[in-house]
Structure 1
């Protein structure tokens, strides 16, 4: 398993194009004991016109139906992956999210087209659309539970490799995350908590005009002109967290 992981990592890092990555994914999928793989952003792939990661060897008929109906946005596997930071067998989905009638219908359609159980590794990068790497087998063929630790590693490295290649293919460079000063972040935090400039000035012990200037400069760094949008982007890229705003101690096991 160590050998396989090291070899796959080297191949992904050396991949110079999407075709090379596809060959590497096909090989590791077989070695893991799966039949299918899918690297994808959780978006409407057709609407994104090639800018979103999408690489798979799923049955063509199912993939066409999936993309035409924009299932990348509502796929229950994708939604379940938003609830965890590690890979999970699809059989665990009912424990992770409530499955709607439409979810059950989509899963049944997938089985009809040859996609049974699988294993999905989440890929969440602040400031980007969420994504994942999935490995799957046809209905009736069990997933190789003893290989799931390696599937976790393979999925992580594969998606990172895909991010690099898609950026190269689009001629894009990953934009740097806006950096706020400590005082700018303090002001944005209190804005997120619903405070006015006057209230923030009293809390921080500075002038009201100074608060307004810090918030204006923070907006400029993010390229926005609305405070609400500024707070959303700061949450999206990890500059702020919900725990910061609500001052709650994080409880991973709510009652």
Structure 2
């Protein structure tokens, strides 16, 4: 079971994983070795900048992967349970509670079973930062083997859920930091931004030179220099990367911001 000495060591070894792909592979190996078929991890609340973010990891078949609509506590009993409770619980025990005997909750579980997610358990995951989530461990069959798998592994499943919670959060923070470092050297001069801005509007180098009152070769110089800064293959690639990095915004009263007219 997860909570024996070897199982605990295997779970804690996930802390040494260095990438989301390797973490996913390790989790699939671990849960399948313990008798589960699938896992589904959902964390809601991690932010990139000022934006809300939902992070998921799973090995579910495509037909069984939840949609945003299904991930609604008013529609899905597992989502509601994870948002309001703290104890790991097998699905049969959840749905046996009077609150979850409502028709739409029973329908949600029946739909889950039709997609191959037959038996399982849910581990609620919460953090004082406001992050909410859950880990589902799933069997694709309903027999004594599935019952024994859930019963034996449920006590240690909480440890797996919380290790994943911390590790996924750590990898997400590292990913955002890497993006910040990658864009740190992408500082463009005002003239480079102007050239890319009008290139993004479809202007040729000649038209940009007329607009800005500089030579065509000078435009080409600024565009090429911007491409090198942005590590872009061509001007269109540079435009795309500059837009994504919010490097094309220039003051409306900056010289040269009046478009050409025929």
* TM-score for the superposition, normalised by structure 2: 0.57
Provide structure 1 residue ranges, at least 5 long, that are not aligned to the other structure: 173-255
Q: Give a deviation string over 1:140-165, Cα, whole Å, max 9, x none.
A: 24241112222221122122211111
Deviation of 1:72 after TM superposition, in Å, equals: 4.7
Computed over aligned residues only, the root mean square deviation of the Cα atoms, in angstroms, reads 2.5
Q: Tell me the secondary structure at the aligned position of residue 79 of structure 1.
A: helix
Deviation of 1:98 after TM superposition, in Å, equals: 3.1
Partner of residue 67, structure 2: 67
Superposition pairs for residues 122-137 of structure 1, below 5 Å?
Answer: 122-137=124-139
Q: How many residues align?
A: 165
Deviation of 1:29 after TM superposition, in Å, equals: 0.7
Q: Give a deviation string over 1:224-253, Cα, whole Å, max 9, x none.
A: xxxxxxxxxxxxxxxxxxxxxxxxxxxxxx
Q: Distance in 1 between matches of 2:92 and 2:41?
A: 20
Partner of residue 29, structure 1: 31
Deviation of 1:112 after TM superposition, in Å, equals: 0.6
The answer to whether the Cα contact below 8 Å between 1:80 and 1:97 also exists between their aligned partners in 2 is: no
Q: Distance in 2 between matches of 1:169 and 1:97?
A: 40
Superposition pairs for residues 101-120 of structure 1, below 5 Å?
Answer: 101-120=103-122
The answer to whether the Cα contact below 8 Å between 1:83 and 1:96 also exists between their aligned partners in 2 is: no
The answer to whether the Cα contact below 8 Å between 1:8 and 1:24 also exists between their aligned partners in 2 is: no
Deviation of 1:114 after TM superposition, in Å, equals: 0.2
Deviation of 1:109 after TM superposition, in Å, equals: 0.9
Q: Tell me the secondary structure at the aligned position of residue 54 of structure 1.
A: strand
Structure holding more strand per residue:
2
Deviation of 1:78 after TM superposition, in Å, equals: 1.9
Q: Distance in 2 between matches of 1:49 and 1:72?
A: 19
Q: Distance in 1 between matches of 2:67 and 2:155?
A: 29
Deviating 4+ runs (over 6 angstroms): none
* TM-score for the superposition, normalised by structure 1: 0.58
- Structure with larger Rg: 2
The answer to whether the Cα contact below 8 Å between 1:40 and 1:53 also exists between their aligned partners in 2 is: yes
Q: Give a deviation string over 1:81-102, Cα, whole Å, max 9, x none.
A: 2343221101111327334322
Partner of residue 161, structure 2: 155
Of 34, 37, 40, the residue aligned with 1:38 is: 40
Q: Distance in 1 between matches of 2:97 and 2:68?
A: 29
Provide structure 2 residue ranges, at least 5 long, that are not aligned to the other structure: 179-262
Q: Distance in 2 between matches of 1:157 and 1:96?
A: 31
